[in-house]
Amino acid sequence: MPGNLARFLAQGFVEAAPRGWRGSTEQGLLSERTASRLGFRTRSDVTFALPEGNRLIIELEISRADPVTNQVEFLLAQRQGDVSGTDVLVSMFSSDVTRGRRNLSAWFHRHLRAQGSTAFQVALLPELSHQQIHELNHSSLEALARRELPIERELERVRSIVVPRGEVAHRIHFAGDVSDVMANLWVYNHEIRGVGGPSWVPRRAQYLVFDPITRWFAPSKFCAFVPAPRAAGARTPDTMTLELYASLGEQDPRFDGHRARKHLTGRLAFHECNPVEPIAGHLDRWWKELAGALVPRRPLRILVPPPWYDRGR
């Protein structure tokens, strides 16, 4: 029966809940008063009541046609007071969601964080191709149970991303999805070309993320993190920026190239390789364009997004 994958994963998440988490499926976001007034109800795939007193709301997007519905409903529930300012929204996207819809949703999540909401897009089973996801989604619940899908690993990815790292003034999160990684890469390339004078000190980099669409690169440290929502009244940057990148400092233990590489390859299914053709040719052209703004640390290693990312070009 089509559509079983989300139902199977939702129940699996509830059963694999970490200690202190109380999970449920199909829980309404809107109060009865709000739902009656508006004429519709919203139900999340999974809701966890957390020990800190807030909720983690997880939506599972297997191949959804409308990628921003969940974010709009979450924002509406917040504005109505049915979702608190400390509740967290996570939309998990499988590889069967095309790049355009994936990027649209990721932009909306970044917009919510910029406005102070805690919302993330997180990859769902990113090591699987869209054909494999399609097959799983058309499997019976019994067949899915026999596949022994890595439920606990999927929850670990969520936890690793929603938990902020560092002090209030400089908190960051790991990027949750390839779309956020690429958005950081684009910002790096736009901003680094506008940097001039002695204020910018060239950084060294050994691990570079490659975007097969623009054929640009950027340091893994810049790509693997996103700013955490800030206090009310202080706007959060949509993405990593050169200003934030410089403020974190080379000695910050969170801000480490090896840690960034491990996150991208271990949690987001990036592939690590040597700069061989045709990537080597793109890399040579890119270095010349930077005009010394970045210093290579040998041997260079390239992090390539999973093959399904450029589907739908």
Lowest mean pLDDT among 150-154, 176-180, 191-195: 191-195
Residue ending a domain, among 109, 140, 163, is 163
Q: Which residue has the tokens 């690169």?
A: 217
Q: Which of 138-152, 187-201, 254-268 has the highest mean pLDDT?
A: 138-152
Q: Are residues 9 and 135 in the same domain?
A: yes
Same domain (yes/no): 200, 131: no
Same domain assignment for residues 154 and 12: yes
Asked if pLDDT for residue 150 goes beyond 60, the answer is yes
> Is residue 149 located within the same domain as residue 222?
no
How many independent structural domains does the chain possess? 2
Q: pTM of the entire structure? A: 0.93
Domain final residue, candidates 142, 163, 184: 163
Identify the domain boundary among 163, 192, 213.
163
Instruction: Grade residue 136 by pLDDT with cuts at 50, 70 and 90.
Output: very high
Q: Which two tokens stand for residue 262?
A: 């491990």
310 against 131, higher pLDDT: 131
Alpha carbon separation from 6 to 108, 137, 218, 300 (Å, rounded)? 22, 8, 34, 39
Task: Please tell me the predicted confidence (pLDDT) of residue 250.
Answer: 63
Residue 54 shares a structural domain with residue 184: no
Judgement on whether residues 244 and 285 belong to the same structural domain of the protein: yes
Residues 98 and 181 in one domain: no
Residues 197, 150 within the same domain: no
Residue range 64-91, pLDDT digits in tens: 767 788 888 899 999 899 999 899 999 9
What is the domain extent for residue 205? Answer: 170-310
Strands 118-123 and 88-93, how do they pair?
parallel
Per-residue pLDDT band at 167 (split at 50, 70, 90): low
Residues 196-223 have pLDDT tens digits of 555 677 888 899 999 999 999 999 999 9
Same domain for 36 and 20 = yes
What distance in Å separates the CA atoms of residue 92 and residue 72, rounded to the nearest whole number? 15
**133 and 183 assigned to the same domain:** no
Cα gap 209→264, rounded to integer Å: 9
